[in-house]
Structure 1
Amino acid sequence: MKQEKKIGSRPVIYVTRDIERALGLPLDTRGYFVVANKTDFAVSIAKNNKNVLLIKEKKLLDTRELLAHKKTKAFIAPFAQPKIMVFKNTPQIERICHESGWPLLNPPSLLSNRVEEKLSQLSWLGALSSYLPPHTKEECNNITWQDIPFMLQFNRAHTGLGTTFITSKKQLRAIQKKFPKREARVTAYIDGPMFTVNAVVTDSTILVGNISYQITGLKPFTDERFATVGNDWMLPSILLNAEQRTRIATLARYVGKRLKKDGWLGLFGIDVICEKKTGKLFLIEINARQPASAVFESWLQKKQKKTQPKTQTICEAHICALLKKKTHLPLTNIKNGAQLVQRVTKKRHTLRKIIPGQHHGFFVIPYANTDHNADLLRIQSDTWVMQKNGILNTTGKEILSLVHDMV
């Protein structure tokens, strides 16, 4: 039976702040249910589907709050032995699921945190830490300025936040004064384009997805130098040679095997940077969770199913892995497609009234977020948007113009 038609013998309930994160499978998949915040986009997608519960409160609820909500508990109550799935696991989510008697499909939060956090990651990687840029671990007070810019990271950081690019002695001294005894990872600054690849750990293998160029720090989409604002699945074929693309996939398998050793199942992602001067590749990030780009990658993959029928999307593989269902299908290949995200910035923090869906050939997803650097608007394209590293092509400029009209 096809995966998109039936998920399994027991119901799976995906609880998520943003409904988009649960759209790796069609909402009418039998046995698949979603609980999310009620937003304009969620309403447009759910279309009164009985498999979907949308909750409306004065503010958007996070996953923990949605799980604890009385409407969620009432929605789940009639199901026999339901299984819960979330975007990113936390100890609080684990506690609520345990107290409610709901099995949680996601890998343990303790493992996820150990892999993602910048200091614990070093010991977890072991020999694989050789793939990182040159680095040390030191208390802030012991870091010395040697007239060479570097990256400083505290233990917890994501989407470019928590990472500081140190360019002067004065800047370093200010951090040392504020956090003198705090340990940090000090990493050599590598200049070059960044790439992302999503992958799935199954009970028998590591399935590696399609490499995308990571659009990072591009103004006016963000105020943050290292914030991710999109992906382009065409550009890697231009910026990377075949050997480099193979090496990125191999590195993803190495990380996947290390995760598998600790009992991981399901999606993860890695970010890699290609040094502009040498072409050398370095591992810079591990996302031990469902990466934000996985759903759109799956959407692009679905469009290729007619020419690649005996394949599966990365989200289909993810759910199969979490359910421990046997699957021998390879992942669908894609060679084009992109998305750009307008984040909340000082100048761009509110949206005009926007109807979610198709606009001028692009798919538009508005968000009701207000926090700095949170997603404000996501625009998705079937074709690439970047001409080269850091430079939009004609399609990208069309999207930029569309964003101007919407914010």
Structure 2
Amino acid sequence: MKSLELALKSAPLVYVTRDLERARGLSSQTSNYYIITNRASTTKRDEAHDQNILSISEKAKLDTHKLLKHPKTISFLAGLTNPRLLVFKNTTAIEKICREHRWTLLNPPAELANIVEEKISQITWLGELKEMLPLHRVTICQELTWTGVPYIIQFNRAHTGSGTILVENKNQIIILRNTFPRREVRVTKFISGPVFTNNVVVWGKNILSGPLNYQITGLTPFTKLPFATVGNDWELPRKTLTKKQLKDFETMTIKVGKRLAAAGWKGLCGLDMVVEEKTGKIYLLEVNARQPASTTYESQLQSQNRPKNIITTFEAHLAALLDLPYKNEKIISLKTGSQIIQRVTADVTSITKDTLKKLTKLQAGYILYQNNISGADLLRIQLKKGIMMGHSIFNALGIEIAYACDPNKQNHSELCVGGKTN
């Protein structure tokens, strides 16, 4: 993208991130594009071949705000002329550090991101667009009741499904009442069906949709949490969605994107939408006001086939943040590709050499993480083909991937809708 190349020549861009993978949407060998990250997230090859990476070594991996305060970061940025900084997810702590050092931070304001993304404030922010959500209300846990019909509750702040609970019996309500009596929750009708994610770029007044992907959620052995997102499949949407549904996705995306633009948002956000199995109706589930985790691999897949005047999702993100003039660019579509993440669980706390050998034989790329907290990323597996046959059902390749990662070696060909095994 020529305009982006010219913008980088005028002043350096520095992505500060806990995990290197998040910044890989653009090659780290791109002139004047730098990455500051933890050494624990880099490999020997990264350090040998990528001179634009500053890797910081400490006893424990540092979060972004701690990386920003590190003496090596301060020294590195002092050696650059007018550096512009980018982070994965902005916070008020990050903004404070940047103000203190007079660094230019490109991310939209953290306050706006919180209003848009948090489960309670999101309802008010959506305004009339809240009609796109499933039937919902806001209450406190003390007021929760059981009527015999399952429903979803969400705490105001959550991440990758960890704050989402499917209430299926009275005992769950009793526990919630006793543990969090005064805590606000969003109560939502449970919609059974596949979830799809669209990585959307707000570029001035223009709304650019990335390729729709199926959100892989709650499947073993990758997670023990039923609503935890563990991957993406870019092939399944075109196989399972009708033309009308694809049009409805686009309409909803434009509406939410325009509201974000009016609020002053720039760059990437992620929209999660569910297709109700019984009716085929589409509901908005989430607006994630940040760079979605699937952005990097989506952009890497896109860069392999690049027509003229068509750009990757990550390039569009950077162009929007840098206020580059929009010249009718379009984001590259994808026909296939997938990734799935093994999270830390009670059964899986490390990755064996045998697993990595099996993945290599399956022509899967992978990224290892040094994490030990339950639910954290342990292994990211990336493929140029899809791994899903249907909603929560692996295809033949997906079954082999799951079997390679599963210490219990259960039969993943018997997975049924909902991710539970028979």
TM-score when normalising by structure 1: 0.95
Aligned AA (1:375): D
Contact 1:16 1:36 in 2 (8 A): yes
Once residues 5 and 30 of structure 1 are traced to their aligned partners in structure 2, the CA distance between those partners, rounded to angstroms, is: 8
- Taking the aligned partners of 2:5 and 2:322, their CA distance within structure 1 comes to 15
1:60 counterpart SS class: coil
Kindly provide the amino acid, as one letter, of the partner of residue 144 in structure 1.
T
> Number of residue pairs matched?
405
> Is the counterpart of residue 402 in structure 1 residue 401 in structure 2?
no
* 2:381 alignment partner, one of 379, 382, 393: 379
Q: Which amino acid aligns with 2:336?
A: N
Structure 2 equivalent of residue 201 of structure 1: 202
Q: Separation in 2 of the partners of 1:304 and 1:247?
A: 27
Question: Counterparts of 1:100 and 1:116 in 2: how far apart (Å)?
Answer: 28
Shift of 1:4: 6.8
Name the Cα RMSD after superposition. 2.0
| Deviations 1:173-194 (CA, angstroms, capped at 9, x unpaired) | 1101111122111100010111
Structure 1 Cα separation of the partners of residues 145 and 41 of structure 2: 51
For residues 273-314 of structure 1, give each alpha carbon's deviation from its aligned partner in whole angstroms, at most 9, with x where no partner exists.
Answer: 100000011111111000000111101111121xx2320000
Residues in 1 aligned to 2:402 and 2:127: alpha-carbon distance in whole angstroms: 42
Please list, as runs of the form range in 1=range in 2, the aligned pairs for 1:27-46 lying within 5 A after superposition.
27-39=28-40, 41-46=42-47
Amino acid across the alignment from 1:331: I
CA contact (8 A) 1:197 1:212 kept: yes
Instruction: Give the deviation of 1:204 after TM superposition.
Output: 3.3
Give the structure 2 partner of residue 332 of structure 1.
Answer: 332
- Structure 1 residue runs of 4+, over 4 Å off? 3-6, 353-356
Cα displacement string for residues 31-85 of structure 1 (whole angstroms, at most 9, x for unaligned residues): 1110001136444334342211001111111101100000111111111111110
Say if 1:94 and 1:43 are closer, same or farther in 2 by CA, change over 3 A. farther
* SS of residue in 1 equivalent to 2:156: strand
Work out whether residues 4 and 319 of structure 2, in 8 Å CA contact, stay in contact via their aligned partners in 1: no
Name the CA distance, whole Å, in 2 between partners of 1:83 and 1:387.
Answer: 43
Correspondence for 1:103: 104
Rounded to whole Å, the distance in 2 between the matches of 1:123 and 1:8 is 41
1:355 and 1:41, CA in 2 relative to 1: closer, same or farther beyond 3 A? farther
1:50-89 map, 5 Å: 50-89=51-90
The alpha carbon displacement at 1:402 in A equals 3.3
Instruction: Indicate yes or no: 2:318 matched with 1:316.
Output: no
Q: Distance in 2 between matches of 1:403 and 1:5?
A: 40
The structural deviation recorded for 1:3 is 5.5
CA deviation string 1:309-364 (max 9, x = no partner):
320000000001000012321111111000111110000011236989x8221111
Give SS of 1:283's match. strand
Equivalent residue, structure 2, for 1:224 = 225
| Distance across 1 between alignment mates of 2:253 and 2:205 | 16
Go from structure 1 to structure 2 and tell me whether the alpha carbon gap of 1:326 and 1:313 turns closer, same or farther (over 3 Å shift): same
Kindly provide the CA deviation profile for residues 249-285 of structure 1, in whole angstroms up to 9, marking residues without a partner as x.
2211111111111110000010011000000111111
Deviation by residue 1:224-273 (Cα, 9 ceiling, x = unmatched): 00000100011011221011012112211111111111110000010011
Distance in 1 of aligned mates of 2:47 and 2:256 = 36
SS at match of 1:160: coil
Equivalence for 1:284? 285
Q: What is the CA–CA distance in structure 2 between the aligned matches of 1:8 and 1:40, rounded to whole Å? A: 27
| Range that drifts further, 339-348 or 395-404 | 395-404
Report the counterpart of residue 112 of structure 1 in structure 2. Answer: 113
**Structure-1 residue corresponding to 2:419:** none
1:350 aligns with 2:312: no
One-letter amino acid matched to 1:171: Q
Instruction: Indicate yes or no: 2:235 matched with 1:239.
Output: no
Unmatched tracts of structure 1, length 5 or more: none
User: SS at 1:92's partner residue?
Assistant: helix
Contact 1:14/1:34, CA 8 A, preserved across alignment: yes
Q: How has the CA–CA distance of structure 1 residues 42 and 200 changed in structure 2, closer, same or farther, with 3 Å as cutoff?
A: farther
What percent identity do the matched residue pairs reach? 45
Aligned to 2:372, which of 360, 370, 373? 370
Distance (Å, rounded) in 2 between the aligned partners of 1:372 and 1:282: 30
Residues 97, 42 of structure 1: alpha-carbon distance in 2 compared, 3 angstrom cutoff: farther
Counterpart of 1:143 in structure 2 is: 144
Secondary structure of 1:158's aligned partner: coil
Q: Is the 8 A contact 2:205 2:258 kept in 1?
A: no
Asked whether the equivalents of residues 342 and 377 of structure 1 are also in contact (C-alpha less than 8 Å), the reply is yes
For residues 340 and 371 of structure 1, what CA distance do their matches in structure 2 show? Answer: 18
Q: TM-score, normalised by structure 2?
A: 0.92
Contact 2:42 2:55 in 1 (8 A): no
Contact 2:3 2:324 in 1 (8 A): no
Higher mean displacement: 60-69 or 46-55: 46-55
Aligned to 2:416: none
Deviation at 1:8, TM superposition (A): 4.2
Opposite residue 208 of structure 2, the aligned amino acid is: L
Distance 1:241 1:196 in 2: 16
Gaps of 5+ in 2: 410-422
What pairs with 1:187-198 in structure 2 (closer than 5 Å)? 187-198=188-199
1:304 aligned residue? 305
State the match for 1:163 in structure 2.
164
